[in-house]
Structure 1
Amino acid sequence: MPLLDIKNLTLEIDTALGWVKALDKINLSIDSKEVRALVGESGSGKSLIVKSIVGALPDRWRVTADRMNWKGRDLLSMSDTQRRNITRNEMSVVLQNPTTTLDPSATLGEQIGESIPDSMLDKGWFWQRRAQRHTIAMQQLHKVGIRNHELCLSSYPHQLPDDVCQKFAIAMALVSDPKLLIADNPTMGMETTTKIQVLRLLAKLNKTRGLSILFVSHDLLAISAMADTMTVLYCGQTVESGRMSQIKRRPLHPYTQALLDSAPSFRRDLPPKAALSCLEGTIPTLQHLPIGCRLGPRCPRAQKDCVKMPAVRRIHDHHYACHFPLHRDKP
């Protein structure tokens, strides 16, 4: 049984022009010890999926799903308290903008201290438990590359650079020893050396502790080095998912191929100073979604049948939604 199992997740947002589907029948599953990448250009709905999983959406938005389970328990039928307990103890989240997610009115030491569960502390007087929390926080900060822990713990979020706040957010997410880490673009704004350090830490935790990771990022090179499986989103829909090695070698959806072609690291035959490949046009707005396949107006393989919504097809553990997939003579 997978840790997280989502089938046909739909999110509707109330706008001035009526209700629009920001997410449309999203399918996603994460097994124990799995690293799954969630990729797609800005506006494709990656962060909305993360917020839907942890229940961080406004009450006026409609969230429905055929199945949205955590260890077999339905997340949508849980109370807010039950969802918070799961997020606190079993599922941790690192959002992409730490300056807005961290509490500006509390020091970082106070915030990470609240994230340490009581089960990690030995019995004793309150000052002894306070010292234990400080030691655990210090060790966790060192693991993510923050050496000056005293300055960090005594500072407020606005007093530190964004990359330090991002590393602190990762440390705070890992301090409770979760089963699943949802990392929404966790290395954004970091220099290369720091980025490599954080990625190695996450890979080590996956191997040694069996930590499952949902890795949301634009960095295809980092994703390919870490992830076992990959799910590709476009305009709020799942267009392709499967093993990372298989998708890199033989993508079936034109959008997945366009993503891989846009990354120079995956194109060894690219001559120096050559123009990068890209799809023409931009991702459509939610108020003006195309009929049928949402990639249709930008797709180089679009035909008349693309005005109909493509069904999800499967080849072993490789899923795709396209009328005219790549590398196949027949749809």
Structure 2
Amino acid sequence: MNLLDIRNLSIELDTPSGRVLAVDRISLSIKEGEVRGLVGESGSGKSLLAQAIMGVLQPKWHVHADRFHWRGIDLLRLSIAERKALLCRDIAMIFQEPMSCLDPTTLVGEQLSEAIDKTQLTGHFWQRKKQRKEAVIKLLHKVGIQKHSQCMKSYPHQLTEALCQRVMIAIALAGRPILLIADEPTAAMESTNQAQIFRLLANLNQFKNMSILLISHDLENLTQWTHNITVMYSGQFVEAGSTDQIFDQPMHPYTQALVGSSTKANLQVPTKSRLMTLPGSIPILQHLPIGCRLGPRCPRAQKTCVEVPMVSNFHGHKVSCHFPLIKEPKKKTSVKYKIGNGAS
């Protein structure tokens, strides 16, 4: 059974000129112990989808879905309060900018202490302060912060961005979630810090069997840490499959462009050669193309592309395109550093 099972989820935005369909019928499923990558360039709707799952979108956003199940429970049948209580207990989210998510006026130790669930505390009430402190120290050690005393007595602005991200992960883990959503967890970080954060998430998946939805605009980075990948473009589903399928044999022109622009796929390209790119840029919400939204930029676009393409399934490799890039299977180049025992 899937932990999270979403079918045809759409998100609309209220604007002065009417409602705009920002996310158009996206389907997403995550199994227990799986690391699912969600990739697409900025503006593709990845963060919107994550916030819709968490139920933290503002009232101007409207969410609709044919199916929205969490661990077999139909969330659409629950009240908003019941849905939030269930999701906030089982799902945690790490946001892009840790500095802006932490309270700048409160010590890190106090913020972590507030995140500790009361149900984890036992004994008499006068013992709970000590238990909270011990739980905070344990969380900081779990995310790789050994100098816990210094960290707990610091304000967020006194810590580096990498340390703040570790603190955010510790706060997320305080509730012992089943699913962790990491929205661009290493944005604007140096490569060394990026690798440390990804390794931390990998350990959580491998040793705690925690499912992770890893959101990024960098496809090449995701191939090292995920079991499966879903690709989005301008609020539409593009392609989904195992990490090997997506990177080794992309079927959608957009996915092919993402792979073609990565250094890993261009090891044999001469020095200073231009990598593969698509002309133009992602459309804005006020001027979305009809049909396939990649149409104006797609090198394979034809008249049929003014209609929304159906999703085709090629042995678990799903693609939404009128003219998919179906090729003969080539020699498999497995992605190294895979983690955990999740679905593939």
Alignment of 1:176 onto 2:190: no
Deviation readout 1:261-313 (Å, 9 max, x if unpaired) = 11112322222222222111000111111121100000011111111111111
CA distance in 2 between counterparts of 1:80 and 1:115 reads 22
| Paired letter, 1:16 | P
- CA–CA separation in structure 2 for the residues paired with 1:207 and 1:226: 11
Query: For residue 129 of structure 2, what is the amino acid of its counterpart?
Result: R
Which residue in the other structure is 1:124 paired with?
Answer: 124
Where do residues 217-236 of structure 1 align in structure 2 (5 Å cutoff)? 217-236=216-235
TM-score, structure 2 as length reference: 0.90
Rounded to whole Å, the distance in 1 between the matches of 2:300 and 2:13 is: 31
Q: Could you tell me which residue of structure 2 aligns to residue 35 of structure 1? A: 35
Partner residue in 1 for 2:239: 240
Q: What runs of 5+ residues in structure 2 fail to find an aligned partner?
A: 329-344
**Distance in 1 between the 2:150 and 2:84 partners?**
30
Aligned residues: 328
1:211 is aligned with what amino acid?
Answer: M
Contact 1:13 1:62 in 2 (8 A): yes
- Report how far residue 328 of structure 1 moved: 5.0
- Residues 72/228 of structure 1: CA separation in 2 closer, same or farther (3 Å cut): same
- For 1:154, the equivalent position in structure 2 comes to 153
Alignment of 1:282-301 (within 5 A): 282-301=281-300
Post-superposition Cα deviations, 1:172-211, rounded to whole Å, max 9, x if no partner, equal 1122221100000112233222222222222122122211
Distance 2:138 2:121 in 1: 14
Runs of 4+ with >6 A deviation: none
Query: Partner of 2:85 in structure 1?
Result: 85
- What's 2:57 paired with? 57
Is 1:256 the equivalent of 2:259? Answer: no
Q: 1:273 to 1:33 in 2, by over 3 A?
A: same
The alignment partner of 1:152 has SS state of: helix
Partner of 1:326: 325
User: Who is 2:103 aligned against?
Assistant: 103
Is this contact kept in 1: 2:7–2:26, CA < 8 A?
A: yes
C-alpha separation between the residues in 2 aligned to 1:81 and 1:308? 38
Counterpart of 2:334?
A: none
Separation in 2, partners of 1:79, 1:62: 15
Aligned partner of 2:70 in structure 1 is 70
Query: Shift of the alpha carbon at 1:237?
Result: 0.6
Residue aligned with 1:3, SS? strand
Unaligned ranges ≥5, structure 1: none
Where 1:320 maps in the other structure, the secondary structure is strand
Q: Is the 8 A contact 2:54 2:88 kept in 1?
A: no
Matches of 2:217 and 2:234 in 1, distance apart? Answer: 15
In 1: Cα distance, 2:135 partner to 2:221 partner: 28
Structure 2 contact 261–276 (Cα < 8 Å) conserved = yes
Sort the Cα spacing of 1:266 and 1:134 in 2 relative to 1 into closer, same or farther, 3 A: farther
**2-structure distance, mates of 1:24, 1:252:** 20
Q: Distance in 2 between matches of 1:56 and 1:103?
A: 18
Q: Following TM superposition, by how much is the alpha carbon of 1:168 offset from its aligned partner in structure 2, in angstroms?
A: 0.9
For 2:299, the aligned partner's letter is P
Residue 307, structure 1, aligned to residue 328, structure 2: no
Instruction: Classify 1:76/1:29 alpha carbon distance in 2 versus 1 (closer, same or farther; 3 Å).
Output: same
Match of 2:195 in 1: 196
Matched-pair contact (CA < 8 Å) for 1:170–1:186? no
The 2-side partners of 1:47 and 1:286 are apart by 15
Contact 1:39 1:231 in 2 (8 A): yes
Letter in 1 for 2:95: L
Name the CA distance, whole Å, in 1 between partners of 2:222 and 2:282: 22
Amino acid at match of 2:115: S
CA drift of 1:80 comes to 4.2
C-alpha distance 71-219 of structure 1, shift in aligned 2 (>3 A): same
Q: Which residue in 2 is equivalent to 1:279?
A: 278
Q: Percent same amino acid among aligned pairs?
A: 50
- Between stretches 137-146 and 309-318, larger displacement belongs to 137-146
The 1-side partners of 2:91 and 2:283 are apart by: 32
- Contact kept in structure 2, 1:162 and 1:189, CA below 8 Å: no
Checking the alignment, whether the CA contact within 8 Å between 1:279 and 1:298 is kept in structure 2 is yes
